[in-house]
């Protein structure tokens, strides 16, 4: 009988970037159709952008392990996408689209009505929890027009 492999543990100073820490349900939904395509790129680019923009300057811990836990706690409160804001999130989506051709399609947006807009099928819920499905919602509408949805609404 073979022994099970030992559980691989991350170094304690490593920040664990789960999808929930990187993307709220609203911003994660754009990846749903082709999950996980584009998500690793999002994780790398968005964390780098947040760091470059000073989004982690509020972390005062100097010990590497304490700093990692403080960053995780910060992202548990509000994920990177929402910390970046609509404009930067939209620009990162565009950057990912250039790397992952075919991740999103160009069609008429059901939200704003503009033609030839990069977007996707988008599922969410209204204020009463009733499901809503857009056949095509552009990335601009996702980042600038949609309200945050409940984590359980997708």
Question: In terms of C-beta density within 10 A (0-12 exposed, 13-18 middle, 19 or more buried), how is residue 48 classed?
Answer: exposed
Beta bridge partners of residue 133, listed in sequence order: 123
- Label residue 147 by pLDDT band (50, 70, 90): low
pLDDT averaged over every residue in the chain: 87
Q: Which residues, in sequence order, are CB contacts of 83 under 8 Å at separation 6+?
A: 50, 55, 75
- Give the per-residue pLDDT at 154: 34
- Give the per-residue pLDDT at 150: 36
- Give the per-residue pLDDT at 109: 95
Domain range list for the chain:
19-144
Between 39 and 4, whose confidence is greater?
Answer: 39
Tell me if residue 129 falls in helix, strand or coil: coil
The structure's pTM equals 0.82
- Give the per-residue pLDDT at 76: 95
Q: Does 151 have pLDDT greater than 70?
A: no
Over residues 87-128, the pLDDT tens digits come to: 999 999 999 999 998 899 999 999 999 999 999 999 988 888
């Amino acid at each position: 009988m073979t022994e099970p492999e030992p559980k691989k543990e991350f170094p304690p100073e490593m920040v664990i970037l789960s999808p929930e820490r990187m993307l709220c349900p609203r911003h994660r939904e754009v990846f749903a159709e082709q999950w996980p395509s584009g998500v690793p790129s999002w994780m790398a680019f968005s964390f780098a952008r947040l760091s470059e923009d000073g989004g982690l300057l509020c972390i005062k811990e100097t010990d590497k392990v304490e700093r990692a836990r403080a960053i995780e706690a910060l992202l548990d409160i509000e994920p990177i996408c929402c910390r970046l804001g609509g404009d930067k999130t939209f620009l990162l989506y565009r950057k990912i689209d250039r790397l992952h051709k075919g991740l999103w399609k160009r069609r008429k947006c059901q939200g704003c009505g503009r033609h030839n807009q990069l977007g996707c099928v988008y599922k969410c819920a209204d204020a009463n929890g009733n499901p809503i499905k857009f056949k095509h919602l552009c990335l601009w509408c996702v980042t600038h027009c949609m309200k945050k949805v409940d984590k359980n609404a997708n």
